[in-house]
Structures are given as structure tokens and as C-alpha cells.
């Protein structure tokens, strides 16, 4: 049982056009999941498009007994994060909590001050991910892409500082402030030398190794995942491919590789 908070395209509306919830829920259902949903304004319209969802009367009900929560960024959902049930669960059950939000021009690019205030006494990391161009989102990308440098400039102006990056850290640049318990991370795939520090690989749901989300090929691992006797051959195949990982992607040139949309990876 999975819960999705936030169904409409944007807050304070029942507009479902371009809502990310549609693709998220359909992907979950295609994988066999039962999905609960809640949105204070969007549920009636959502029912016309997503008829297999279990619609709930409130965020508490939607979370009760759920195995996981997919929070689609809206001011309502941000308010629900302050609910005692949610907050105490995170503080007691999770040593480190990361909240990811895609940075979208015209939708959430004016909300950094609220997030700073939210993190003043909460030990979470909020990460803004720069919107990436995929094979099927050109129009959406043109409308809503915003360079992450804009957020970084605002952070520095507000007294935040970039934390030293460990050698084995992920792609996020983490910023902290002496007056805040939480931190803010930036994942900026369009920034200079982003790929130079990339240490990420992905295996798709079909068993293909992807050296880059936007690469032109996948390396089949599935034949070597069937028997324990193939462990050494599997390790050799992965190790060999690491040496072929490109030093850059083609996103700046509009080259999205094999990825029609991020849900297609499935891994």
C-alpha cells in the first residue's frame, strides 16, 4: 500500500493538467501497487482520471498502514510535514531524512524563504533538483526549467555556506547555516563539471546497467543475475563498463539518449 500526497497540478486548485501525480500513480499501479491518495482540492477531478486510487478524507487516513509515502510538492503537503504523527515518525525512525523537490520556474521558485524557515529547527535536508529535459517533456522543460545557480545565489546571499564534499558523496551540493538545524542540497545537472563528480550508476527494472541517465545504450546484466556461479562474470562486466562512463552528457544540446521519461528507468 503506497500513499500519494498532492494530486493537482498546482496548489489551491483542482487543475489536473500536467499533474505529475498522474504518471506517478499510473507507474505505481502498473507495478502492482495499491495507491491511496489525498488532496484537499484535487480529488474530485482526480477521480475522473485515476479511478483505481483509494481516495482518503485526510493525510492521517492516507498514511495509516501505508508502506511508503510519495509526497508531491505543494504548500498543503509541506504543512502536513509538520503534523505530529509525521514529524515524530521521521525523528524516531530515520537517522537522516531527505526531502526532494524538482525546481520549477513559475511554480515553486519563490518558496526558498519558507523552506529556510522550515529548516530552522528541523534536522532534514531539502534538496532542489534542477528540472532535466527528457524525450517527452520539451514543452514542459521550456516553460519551467530554472538554472539551479539562481537558488545557490539566494542561499549565499542569506548567509548559507557550502559544506565540504566527501569523496564518496552523491551529486548534491549541501549548504548549511549556523542558525538552522537542517540543510539545503542542490542537484544541478546543467552546471559546469557536474558529470566530473558523478559517481552514480543505475540498473533498470529489466536488468540493464545505465552508466548515465541520458546515455545512448544499456548494458545487459540480467543474464548474469540468474546464478550465483556468475558472480565473477557479473563483477567483471560492471567493472569493465565503469571505465567507459562518459565525462559528460548531451543535455545542453537537447540530447536525452534512451530516456523518454524518468519513470521509464524503473530501477
pLDDT digits (tens, 9 = 90+) for 13-36: 788 877 778 878 887 888 788 898
Question: What's the angle, vertex CA 86, arms to CA 36 and CA 186, rounded to 5?
Answer: 95
Give first-to-last CA distance, the chain, whole Å. Answer: 19
pLDDT digits (tens, 9 = 90+) for 148-164: 999 999 999 999 999 99
* pLDDT of the residue at 95: 52
The C-alpha cell that represents 194 in the structure block: 557536474
Place of cell 559546469: 192
* pLDDT of the residue at 250: 62
3-class state of residue 34 by DSSP: coil
pLDDT at 72 over 70: no
In angstroms, the CA 131 to CA 58 distance is 30
CB-count burial class (<10 Å; 0-12, 13-18, 19+) for 131:
buried
pLDDT at 146 over 80: yes
**CA 43 from centre of chain:** 23
The C-alpha cell that represents 201 in the structure block: 550508476
pLDDT at 220 over 70: yes
Amino acid at each position: 500500500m503506497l500513499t500519494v500526497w498532492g494530486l493537482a497540478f498546482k496548489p489551491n486548485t483542482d487543475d489536473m493538467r500536467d499533474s505529475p501525480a498522474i504518471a506517478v500513480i499510473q507507474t505505481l499501479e502498473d507495478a502492482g501497487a495499491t495507491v491511496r491518495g489525498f488532496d484537499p482540492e484535487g480529488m474530485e477531478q482526480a477521480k475522473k482520471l485515476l479511478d483505481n486510487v483509494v481516495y482518503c478524507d485526510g493525510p492521517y487516513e492516507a498514511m495509516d498502514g501505508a508502506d511508503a509515502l510519495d509526497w508531491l510538492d505543494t504548500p498543503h503537503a509541506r504543512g502536513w510535514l509538520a503534523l505530529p504523527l509525521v514529524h515524530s515518525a521521521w525523528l524516531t525512525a530515520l537517522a537522516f531524512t531527505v526531502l526532494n523537490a524538482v525546481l520549477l520556474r513559475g511554480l515553486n521558485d519563490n518558496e526558498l524563504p519558507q523552506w529556510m524557515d522550515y529548516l530552522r529547527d528541523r534536522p532534514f535536508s531539502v534538496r532542489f533538483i534542477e528540472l532535466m529535459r527528457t524525450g517527452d517533456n520539451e514543452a514542459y522543460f521550456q516553460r519551467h526549467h530554472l538554472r539551479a545557480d539562481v537558488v545557490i545565489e539566494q542561499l549565499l546571499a542569506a548567509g548559507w555556506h557550502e559544506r565540504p564534499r566527501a569523496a564518496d558523496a552523491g551529486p548534491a551540493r549541501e549548504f548549511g547555516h549556523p542558525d538552522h538545524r537542517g540543510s539545503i542540497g542542490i542537484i544541478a545537472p546543467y552546471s559546469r563539471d557536474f558529470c566530473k563528480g558523478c559517481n552514480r550508476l543505475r540498473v533498470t527494472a529489466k536488468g540493464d546497467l545505465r552508466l548515465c541517465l541520458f546515455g545512448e545504450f544499456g548494458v545487459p546484466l540480467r543474464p548474469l543475475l540468474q546464478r550465483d556461479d556468475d558472480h565473477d562474470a557479473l563483477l567483471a562486466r560492471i567493472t569493465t563498463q565503469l571505465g567507459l562512463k562518459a565525462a559528460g552528457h548531451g543535455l545542453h544540446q537537447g540530447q536525452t539518449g534512451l530516456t523518454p521519461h524518468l519513470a521509464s528507468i524503473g530501477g
